[in-house]
């Protein structure tokens, strides 16, 4: 999987993303609870797309939301949607190499993990962006089985298989102490604090 293909794929979907995106508020709230996103926290939304979760972060009273995506067209839409918010920063960058001036309390990778080819590099870099005691959460608003089926269509060339729980724990293990692992018919969440 090439990053240029991922960028091209998501750029092509950006215009209709908000209309076609499915979001279950109950599932999102459960995920953000696991992620420790709350009043006064600083959150990094990795692969934010058009900013689907930004209203959920704001509703929780975050101090700041930094949203990053590799797709310039997704970022362009997100910037327009949230430009009036002083506590939202949307940037176009690669999460595998992203650098921030200040560290964050929580990193959320929502509905995006299979689109990262170098998963170890991703976790290694993201772990450097967390404050002491900070948390990384990888989550999907559907089951692992449903997600694998979903990606078997047009997204097959720009995604990899979502790891099962033991494999994800092993991937995160060098940098993250996993204390949440949920994989059921409704959602997939693996979350933990930085070592």
pLDDT in tens, 89-137: 999 999 999 999 999 999 999 999 988 989 999 999 999 999 999 999 9
8 Å CB contact between 95 and 126: yes
What number of residues does the chain have? 195
pLDDT of residue 150 exceeding 80? no
| The CATH number of domain 3-194 is 3.40.50.150 | yes
What pLDDT was estimated at residue 3? 84
Q: What is the mean pLDDT of the chain?
A: 91
Quote the CA–CA distance of 175 and 45 in Å, as a whole number. 19
Percent of the chain with pLDDT over 90: 73
Average pLDDT over residues 1-16: 84
Average pLDDT over residues 171-184: 94
Q: Give the strand pairing for 188-194 and 176-183.
A: antiparallel
Q: Which of 2-16, 67-81, 121-135, 166-180 has the lowest mean pLDDT?
A: 2-16
pLDDT in tens, 29-54: 999 999 999 999 999 999 999 999 99
What's the CA dihedral at 147, 175, 165, 168 to 10 degrees? Answer: 50
């Amino acid at each position: 999987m090439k990053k240029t293909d991922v960028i091209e794929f998501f750029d092509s979907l950006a215009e209709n993303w908000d209309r076609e995106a499915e979001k279950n508020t109950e599932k999102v709230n459960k995920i953000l609870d696991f992620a420790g996103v709350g009043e006064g926290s600083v959150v990094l939304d990795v692969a934010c797309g058009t900013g689907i979760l930004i209203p959920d972060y704001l509703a929780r009273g975050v101090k700041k939301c930094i949203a990053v995506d590799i797709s310039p067209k997704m970022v362009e839409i997100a910037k327009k949607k949230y430009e009036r918010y002083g506590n939202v920063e949307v940037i176009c960058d690669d999460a595998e190499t992203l650098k921030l001036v200040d560290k964050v309390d929580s990193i959320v990778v929502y509905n995006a993990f299979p689109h990262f080819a170098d998963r170890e590099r991703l976790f290694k870099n993201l772990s450097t962006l967390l404050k002491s005691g900070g948390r990384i959460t990888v989550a999907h608003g559907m089951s692992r089985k449903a997600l694998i089926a979903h990606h078997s269509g047009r997204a097959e060339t720009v995604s990899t298989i979502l790891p099962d729980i033991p494999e994800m724990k092993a991937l995160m293990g060098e940098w993250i102490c996993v204390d949440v692992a949920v994989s059921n018919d409704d959602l997939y969440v693996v979350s933990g604090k930085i070592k």
